[in-house]
Amino acid sequence: MKNYNIGFTLVELVIVLLLVGIAMVILNPVLNKIKERSIRIACADNMRVLSKALFIYAKEHDGNFSESLKTLYDEKYISDTKLLDCPGTLKIGGGDDPDYFYTKNLSVRNSSDIVLISEKPNTHAGGENIVYVNSTIAWEKSGQ
């Protein structure tokens, strides 16, 4: 009667672990790019919400935008201070010092190519999201 051991041998286990390691090395850059793109899209969505809130504020204030982005939260035009920060930053809290730059003293009558809200340069892999007065949202490489 023959006695067969059922299961992995040490060599088979090493080969499986090696293949898993190679797959992780190959997939890691791809997964990092996907993660960065999803953060960039979530950030653009925050900026879209802020832009809409600014336009609602302007409609109720003779076409003039708010004094600051924090005003949108203080006056209940947005419901969460997390909207004032890029999801890719490690900041906790938010509101007092928003991640986004805001061009003050604008109105809806300004030219559509003027930047309304932007991010710090190189926020997302060499570029940043920008919202223009005409509420267009674009991602542009830094330095453009």
Residue 124 DSSP SS3 = strand
Percentage of residues of the chain with pLDDT beyond 70:
88
Confidence bin at 93 (pLDDT 50/70/90): low
**Which residues pair with residue 124 across a beta bridge?**
127
Rounded CA-CA distance 47/83 in Å is: 8
Question: Is pLDDT of 125 > 60?
Answer: yes
Average pLDDT over residues 81-102: 78
Average pLDDT over residues 54-73: 91
CA distances from residue 87 to 18, 46, 132, 136 in whole angstroms, order as listed: 35, 9, 20, 20
Let me know how long the chain is. 144
Average pLDDT over residues 46-58: 94
Percentage of residues of the chain with pLDDT beyond 90:
42
Query: What is the structure's pLDDT at 94?
Result: 54
Mean pLDDT score of the chain: 86
